[in-house]
Amino acid sequence: MVQIFFVRSGNRMHKHYIFLFVVGLILFVGCANAQAPLPGLTTNPIPTAPATRPQPTASPTVPRPATIFIPKEITGTLRADMLAAAKQIGLTNAANKASADLVISSQRAPDSSVLTERVYAVVDWFPTKLTNIGSEELLNLWQGQPSPQGVDTLLVAPETLAAFTELWGAPASNVKTIPAEQLVEAIWNNKTALAIMPFDQLVPKVKALHVDDLNILDRAAKMDSYPLVTRLFASGDAVFLKGFTSAFYKKNAQTNRDPNRMTQLIMTGVTAISRTSAFKIDAAGDNALPARAVADVLAAADITHVSNEVPFTESCKPVLGTLQLCSKPQYIEALKLAGIDLISSTGNHMNDYGIKAFMETLDLFDKEGFKVFGGGRNIDEAKRVLVVEDHGNKLAFLGMNSFGPKSVWATADRPGAQQYDPAILHEELEEARAEADVVFLDMQSEETYQYEPYAGNVEKFRDGIANGADVVTGVQAHQPQALEFSPDGKKIILYGLGNLFFDQMQSDNVRQGLVVRHTIHNGKLIQTELLPTLLYDYVQPRWATPEQAQEILDLVFGASGFK
């Protein structure tokens, strides 16, 4: 800051110098501040080089979500499982097939692979006389034309309807949609209807018909020519395809009919190769004579069962007209020819020749590789639950004897059959249920010579079903008897199968027998077939003719109350 002082002087020159000094000072200060404009003044700015305009930055590209196309015809649980599998690997549902990364289709594309295969069965109620239907006849029925056998209605569940609409086109009005859980009951209530249902949903209460003479219960059936198969194919990005199928197969099998998970089990009635049968065998010089006519079918099963009621012992001396029964050891050839694997030893004649003879029998069974249940060298052996595994299916077998006599019941130090005790039975069934997929109970119960079941047996057998058995078989009956199903159709009681190898010929009812063939698939009992036999010449059962078989079945179904 420049400060100006006024100083008084006595002469004029002095004042002049002061004036010049002040003017010079002002000029000096003005020059010194020439570059800094004073407040309120503007100056012309110094021109500068123009600034470069910034270029816009490119927006990052947002990747398109990966998608899967699932046709609208795929509905229900299958669609839900596909969407869930797709979500696991980051695929969203596409509305447009052309832009999808993965495409599901019922039509095979050049680069596609089979995602799922669904085999279907044509079924009728269990007592039906039908055995086969032609594929052309079935297609005509779908299109509204009744079959020559009088079938005028076809029943299907919603998912089956969608699958076959894709395969055969829109159905006629005689094709009725029924909830899957009501299909079995519906087919029993409509005797002019058939149903189409997935193979893996079969139950014993319905009968799977052959289609074009092809039996889908036969593991070796040539399915390439079977018409009731639908397939879905997957195509698209290889990485997505691998991830999707891996996730999808955690909950879904590639096929619902896997031959590697199918087991056929044959169960039979009374075997007691004794009395007149023994004389016939010895006269023919053929120890396997009883099995000659039926062995091919019995041995073809994966597992074959007999209920043997008598001892095989060297001390056996066959006698006619006696109730003291035995078999010679060499008659075991009949069981070997029949391919026997399992022996139910609950019979009431096992100790007819004493404890030693029964022990001899068990030793022979062990030597031949037969597995025994329901009886044994002592009570601990008799009460063992036998578990057999075949084609990935675990089957449990146990047996009890309520008929007696007391001398045949096993104890801690005596061989015999396991005595019936409901409390112990429930414990064993619980054990069997925990260890196996399907549980079979043999009951040697009260004997009656009639097709209708004895009331006491009904109570016992139903109790077995209620407490864990899937199949209860009465092995005491010397003639065929009634059968019944659980309300859901998944379990079955066979009150009596009649004789297999026994010499009773005094009347038609005791000549008749039932060979039962069960089919198990993927841990479930899906079908039960009844194969009638007739005994000839006191020694040999033979397959009944179609007319004879129908007569036997009509008697059994009538006693069962099937209408």
| Residue 332 CB coordination number (10 Å) | 22
Of 269, 268, 288, 276, nearest to 506 by C-alpha is 276
- Residue 30 within a domain: no
The pLDDT of residue 59 is 54
Q: Does residue 418 share a domain with residue 455? A: yes
Kindly report the CATH number assigned to the domain that includes residue 184: 3.40.190.10
- Residue 413 within a domain: yes
What are the distances in angstroms from CA 241 to CA 5, 82, 110, 467?
Answer: 101, 12, 15, 45
Burial of 241-273, coded b for 16+ CB within 10 Å and e otherwise, reads: bebbbebbeeebeebbbbeebbbbbbbbbbbbb
* 92 DSSP β-pair partners: 67
What are the distances in angstroms from CA 272 to CA 191, 311, 462, 505, 538?
Answer: 40, 9, 27, 14, 12
The residue type of 79 is: R
Residue 229's H or E segment, with its range, is strand 229-236
Do residues 445 and 403 touch, judged by C-beta distance below 8 A? yes
Of 487, 480, 545, nearest to 516 by C-alpha is 480
The set of residues, in sequence order, having a beta carbon less than 8 Å from that of 469 and lying 6+ positions away, is 429, 432, 439, 440, 441, 491
- Domain C-terminal end among 180, 208, 227: 227
* 69 DSSP β-pair partners: 103
Strand pairing report for 438-444 and 386-390: unpaired
Of 340, 331, 343, 339, nearest to 289 by C-alpha is 331
The set of residues, in sequence order, having a beta carbon less than 8 Å from that of 50 and lying 6+ positions away, is none
The set of residues, in sequence order, having a beta carbon less than 8 Å from that of 157 and lying 6+ positions away, is 177, 178, 179, 180, 183, 197
What are the distances in angstroms from CA 352 to CA 315, 326, 407, 454?
Answer: 11, 7, 9, 26
Residue 483's H or E segment, with its range, is strand 483-485
Q: Does residue 136 share a domain with residue 268? A: no
Q: Does residue 533 share a domain with residue 405? A: yes
- Residue 476 within a domain: yes
Tell me the CA end-to-end span of the chain in Å, nearest whole number. Answer: 129
Q: Does residue 132 share a domain with residue 82? A: no
The pLDDT of residue 95 is 87
- Residue 19 within a domain: no
Do residues 299 and 337 touch, judged by C-beta distance below 8 A? yes
Do residues 105 and 232 touch, judged by C-beta distance below 8 A? yes
Q: Does residue 151 share a domain with residue 247? A: no
The pLDDT of residue 53 is 52
Kindly report the CATH number assigned to the domain that includes residue 475: 3.60.21.10
Spatial distance between the Cα atoms of 264 and 262, rounded to a whole number of angstroms: 7
Q: Does residue 194 share a domain with residue 124? A: yes
The set of residues, in sequence order, having a beta carbon less than 8 Å from that of 429 and lying 6+ positions away, is 398, 439, 441, 464, 467, 468, 469
Q: Does residue 240 share a domain with residue 315? A: no
Phi, then psi, of 421 in degrees rounded to 5? -145, 115
Show the CA angle centred on residue 168, arms to residues 165 and 169, nearest 5°: 55
Which residue's structure tokens are 């879905």? Answer: 232
Which structural domain range is residue 201 located in?
118-227
Q: Does residue 349 share a domain with residue 497? A: yes
Q: Does residue 212 share a domain with residue 301? A: no
The set of residues, in sequence order, having a beta carbon less than 8 Å from that of 98 and lying 6+ positions away, is none
- Residue 512 within a domain: yes
Q: Does residue 221 share a domain with residue 265? A: no
Q: Residue 290 carries which DSSP code?
A: G
Of 378, 370, 396, 391, nearest to 468 by C-alpha is 396
- Domain C-terminal end among 179, 208, 227: 227
Do residues 112 and 224 touch, judged by C-beta distance below 8 A? no
- Residue 36 within a domain: no
The pLDDT of residue 4 is 33
Q: Does residue 222 share a domain with residue 82? A: no
**501 burial class (0-12, 13-18, 19+ CB within 10 angstroms)?**
buried
Do residues 152 and 174 touch, judged by C-beta distance below 8 A? yes
Which residue's structure tokens are 């149903």? Answer: 195
Per-residue pLDDT of the chain (563 residues; tens, 9 = 90+): 333 333 333 443 343 433 333 334 333 334 344 333 333 323 333 344 444 555 555 555 557 789 999 998 888 888 999 999 999 999 999 988 999 999 999 889 888 999 999 999 999 999 999 999 999 999 999 999 999 999 999 999 999 998 899 889 999 999 999 999 999 999 999 999 999 999 999 999 999 999 999 999 999 999 988 999 999 999 999 999 999 999 999 999 999 999 999 999 999 999 999 999 999 999 999 999 999 999 999 999 999 999 999 999 999 999 998 999 999 999 999 999 999 999 999 999 999 999 999 999 999 999 999 999 999 999 999 999 999 999 999 999 999 999 999 999 999 999 999 999 999 999 999 999 999 999 999 999 999 999 999 999 999 999 999 999 999 999 999 999 999 999 999 999 999 999 999 999 999 999 999 999 999 999 999 999 999 999 999 999 999 999 999 999 999 999 999 98
Q: Does residue 239 share a domain with residue 204? A: no
- Residue 48 within a domain: no
Number of domains in the chain: 3
The pLDDT of residue 28 is 39
Q: How many residues does the chain have?
A: 563
- Residue 264 within a domain: yes
Longest CA–CA separation in the chain, Å: 183
